[in-house]
Structure 1
Amino acid sequence: MDEKKDGYTNPAFVITEEALEHEVGLDLYRDAADLEYTPAEAKKVRRKIDAWILPMFCMCQGLAYLDKTGTNYGNLFGMRASLHVSTAQFAWFASAFYIGYLICAWPANLALQKYPTGKVMGIVTFFWGIVSVTPGLGLMTPLWWTLQEQPIRHLTWYCFNGVASIIGSLVAYGLGHATHSAVATWKLIFIVFGSFTSLWGIFIFIFLPDSPASAKFLTPEQRIIGVKRVAENRTGTKNTEFKWEQVREAFVDPKLYLLFVAAIAAQIPNGVVSNFSTIIIKGFGFTQLQTTLLDIPNSVVQISSLILSGFLAGRFKNSRAILMFVGNATCIVAACALTYAPHHETWGRLVAFWFTSFQSVGFSLSLVMISANIGGYTKRQTTNAITFIGYCIGNIAGPHVLLEREATTGYPTATKAMLAGYVVKTVTHLVLGAYMLYWNRRWDKMAIARGELLSEAQRRKLAEEVGMTDATEFNNPYFRYAL
């Protein structure tokens, strides 16, 4: 078989001792190759994981988001005036966070690969503001849940951005009444949010396990079941060896560039909303305290859209790309209304602004696409890191499209930039889905040409076995993309 023509290099079908040393959980998988377990036993393991790991992920994401959006609430309560900075200068406060994020994205991913993930996440959360927890949670999700279980779990912990925004609005509303405090309200917001995040980091450091193979809340047999469950994802578990050949493959894979561009396009609007939502809502004519409450529906829309999309993506096969399109299209319509509706239509434009929160659907499902469709741990973490570099670039640029001189006209430059971002994201996600569909059909034709007569169950089993050797999707002839 011509390797280059067929799109494969020689896949490693044999589990070597070297592979055993670096692949987390591979020893359990090999030693229990013939272990049979019932659906009831698998369900019990999943329930334990849901009860222990999912709340940790949710709290990590929520507190991290709450902490970094302190500038949004601080701006509402006089932070900019107290520091004597202009809107343009204040935009750099928001951008500065993502500059640190950008610098540390790759080193953080390497640390997550080389060292126990739970310990790294605990340290990162404690010293929040240096790197983000979101890439770490994205890399860890496929270590705990199967392909079908990932969308709803992934979008559940990601929706805690919205939960945190609601809590943040209520806390800011309460702190806004502390008029006789010796500490300025905007400073109290940072103290309260930051303290909880650092305390949670200590908890994560102690109690978050690296993978099912080291989970103390599971019995020895349940750990084996936990590893075998996620082996079905066909992308392996965690491999501690950094492989340059997988880095090279990542950089010649069009998926990386599509995800990178989509992340930039998605986060320019996010850079506006996450840092200036309160200012935009206040610009509709509401008071300071009314604004803190009217920011809550924005988060409710985000939570609802994420949970519903996660449920549908897990319930219906190959629906991820369709749901990404629906979420992106909703944002385009909302941004059009926000930009071009008559200025006196206050409530209509406010509702349109709330519906821009559908932007989280497309981006979060693109992270699910990475965890489900990138084989090889180094390739997956490389794609993840580059995607989050795009995420940082978009968030660095986003705050600077909101111009102070446009406050009385509804910030049209910002809303037009949001609209442009949504359109670009939609196009790149459509191309991504078409590209993966093309390869699925090509792989099917190649299998027929090789004379393979396998049932779907047999093909999935072989894809699982090859995937456990840390093979990339292009080195696994039985792999098919989950669309």
Structure 2
Amino acid sequence: MMGQGTLSFASIMGIIPDTGLVGQQYQWLTTCIYITILVVEYPQNYIIARVPIAKYLSFMIVAWGAVLACTAACKNFTGLVIVRTLLGLFESACQPAFVILSSIWYKRDEQAARVTYWYMMNGAQQVVGGLLAYCFSLISSGPLKSWQWLFMAYGIISVIYGIFVGWWMPDSPMRAKCWSEEDKHLMVERVRSNQTGVQNRTFKKEQVYEALTDPQCWGYALVQLCTTLPTSGLGSFQGIIIKSFGFTTLQTQLLAMVLGFYIIIVLLGSVWIVKKTQQNLLTMLGFIIPSFVGTILLMTVPPNTKSQKIGLLICYYITLSFWSAQTLALSMVSRNVAGQTKKSVAVAMNFIIWATGNAIGPQVFLSWDAPRYFIAFATHLGCYSLLVIVIIGLRFYLVHQNKRRDQLAAAGVQEANDNKMVHAFEDLTDKENPNFRYVY
């Protein structure tokens, strides 16, 4: 995500004329990242299930940072595409690794918050990135252009952080050197109630089939499509859109920081509401409403007076409210899909569709439709409408599944009412385990 954010800051710092980008070439710089992720996502999931996860993540972060720093050396579209494609390759390990780490370390009721916290870093990156971009935008002379300094600084920071992750982070509770053997066992027992298993390296074909025929897996994947298509476009064009409201480059970099704060508030707010109400899907629906309002106003209000420009800026901010649906759906994958092979297939499906949405997102911003981008915003309205239908469908499905299992338990079926969680570590899927209850 940071690669996309950095490009967005650089888009108004001169990278487009300096590298001679024309037509849809700028859009392709984001799309090529996600096409790469699409190709390597399944092999990545296969590798992640079989290697020490923290060490692998550390290597990927270091490699990613080194490539990001190399962006500063690019002189044309070809160079940029090569660098961005490599960024996609190294970035592809991060999200599936985070989802699997969340399910190994945290209980089901803790996972929604954890997944949201790591997504919240997108907002934090907007804030820190906006400040750094503002500072680098002040550089007007010297051997490197301001956007080149930006990529170098981000890249070097990422490399240092990647080394730290490798040194500090254990691969699983059983590998953590800071705990006694007793504590390690307690950590594993703590997640027994998840009934989603601990890292199990046996591949089960029947679980693959179950994942591909399970409506809820497709529901989560569709949520990813409907949320990533708008986010990747809005993310890579944020600088260009905000600047088109009549702000200077320096003002635009600072205003991007406000967007970061807003994303953090939306994600924290959605987690707080879920914790209070235990309603994941209804919370998602509530957060889609501001996105409808913001997008419709962006399409209808002209940027003539100063107050209209400020109003449009606020509309642009609130459009990103739907982001909470993306993070809550991801946390539901880690809590509602049981069985190690089934979970890895569900995670792969999610990220394949996630990458597809991200790849299409910038392409709906057509260069001849600038600066208002009506076609892009109309497409976004279609995505939000489909998102509402998918969320309502998912809720009906999960409620129905739980009712069926409660009826089994009431009828005296022992497996459906197993308080001791006897089968919790047997690598059963959510459908094979009648004691499993879905969160919605």
Unaligned runs of 5+ in 1: 1-64
Q: Is the 8 A contact 1:283 1:407 kept in 2?
A: no
Structure 1 CA distance for aligned equivalents of residues 178 and 118 of structure 2: 20
Structure 1 CA distance for aligned equivalents of residues 314 and 10 of structure 2: 24
Q: Which residue of 1 aligns with 2:121?
A: 160
1:469 and 2:436 are equivalent in the alignment: no
Tell me the secondary structure at the aligned position of residue 149 of structure 1.
helix
Q: Is the 8 A contact 1:154 1:310 kept in 2?
A: no
Deviates more, 1:239-248 or 1:378-387: 239-248
Query: By how many angstroms is 1:460 displaced?
Result: 4.4
Q: Is the 8 A contact 1:98 1:393 kept in 2?
A: yes
Q: Is the 8 A contact 2:102 2:115 kept in 1?
A: yes
The residue identity in structure 1 corresponding to 2:103 is P
Query: By how many angstroms is 1:420 displaced?
Result: 1.6
Q: Which residue of 2 aligns with 1:333?
A: 293
| Backbone CA RMSD of aligned residues | 1.7
1:242-321 matches, cutoff 5 A = 242-317=203-278, 319-321=279-281
Structure 1 CA distance for aligned equivalents of residues 273 and 191 of structure 2: 20
1:368 and 2:331 are equivalent in the alignment: yes
Unaligned runs of 5+ in 2: 65-86
Q: Which residue of 1 aligns with 2:70?
A: none
Tell me the secondary structure at the aligned position of residue 477 of structure 1.
coil
Identity %: 28
Q: Which residue of 1 aligns with 2:351?
A: 388
* Deviation readout 1:12-59 (Å, 9 max, x if unpaired): xxxxxxxxxxxxxxxxxxxxxxxxxxxxxxxxxxxxxxxxxxxxxxxx
Q: Which residue of 2 aligns with 1:224?
A: 185
* Deviation readout 1:418-453 (Å, 9 max, x if unpaired): 22222212221221122111111112223334x237
Q: Which residue of 2 aligns with 1:100?
A: 36
Tell me the secondary structure at the aligned position of residue 239 of structure 1.
coil
Structure 1 CA distance for aligned equivalents of residues 236 and 354 of structure 2: 15
Q: Is the 8 A contact 1:152 1:313 kept in 2?
A: no
The residue identity in structure 1 corresponding to 2:175 is S
Q: Is the 8 A contact 1:67 1:194 kept in 2?
A: no
Query: By how many angstroms is 1:87 displaced?
Result: 4.1
Q: Is the 8 A contact 2:4 2:236 kept in 1?
A: no
Deviates more, 1:210-219 or 1:104-113: 210-219
Q: Is the 8 A contact 1:327 1:361 kept in 2?
A: yes
Q: Is the 8 A contact 2:4 2:235 kept in 1?
A: no
1:404 and 2:358 are equivalent in the alignment: no
1:124 and 2:86 are equivalent in the alignment: no
Structure 1 CA distance for aligned equivalents of residues 32 and 217 of structure 2: 25
1:115 and 2:75 are equivalent in the alignment: no
Q: Which residue of 2 aligns with 1:74?
A: 10
The residue identity in structure 2 corresponding to 1:118 is A
Q: Is the 8 A contact 1:261 1:425 kept in 2?
A: yes
Q: Which residue of 2 aligns with 1:202?
A: 163
Structure 2 CA distance for aligned equivalents of residues 374 and 436 of structure 1: 12
Q: Identify which of 319, 325, 329 aligns with 1:356.
A: 319
Q: Is the 8 A contact 2:42 2:348 kept in 1?
A: yes
Structure 2 CA distance for aligned equivalents of residues 134 and 187 of structure 1: 27
Q: Which residue of 1 aligns with 2:399?
A: 437
* 1:111/1:453 CA distance change after superposition, 3 Å: closer
Q: Is the 8 A contact 2:30 2:236 kept in 1?
A: yes
Q: Is the 8 A contact 1:148 1:315 kept in 2?
A: no
* 1:87/1:168 CA distance change after superposition, 3 Å: farther
Deviates more, 1:418-427 or 1:358-367: 418-427
* Deviation readout 1:342-375 (Å, 9 max, x if unpaired): 4432222211110122122000000011010000
**TM-score if structure 1 supplies the norm length?**
0.82
Structure 2 CA distance for aligned equivalents of residues 429 and 101 of structure 1: 26
Structure 1 CA distance for aligned equivalents of residues 387 and 59 of structure 2: 33
Query: By how many angstroms is 1:125 displaced?
Result: 1.5
Structure 1 CA distance for aligned equivalents of residues 177 and 341 of structure 2: 26
Q: Is the 8 A contact 1:143 1:237 kept in 2?
A: yes
Q: Is the 8 A contact 1:259 1:387 kept in 2?
A: yes
Deviates more, 1:430-439 or 1:169-178: 430-439
Q: Which residue of 2 aligns with 1:32?
A: none
Structure 2 CA distance for aligned equivalents of residues 266 and 251 of structure 1: 21
Q: Identify which of 379, 384, 389 aligns with 1:427.
A: 389
Q: Is the 8 A contact 1:105 1:389 kept in 2?
A: yes
Instruction: Give the aligned length.
Output: 412
Q: Is the 8 A contact 1:309 1:323 kept in 2?
A: yes
Q: Which residue of 1 aligns with 2:340?
A: 377
1:322 and 2:285 are equivalent in the alignment: no
Q: Is the 8 A contact 2:224 2:354 kept in 1?
A: yes
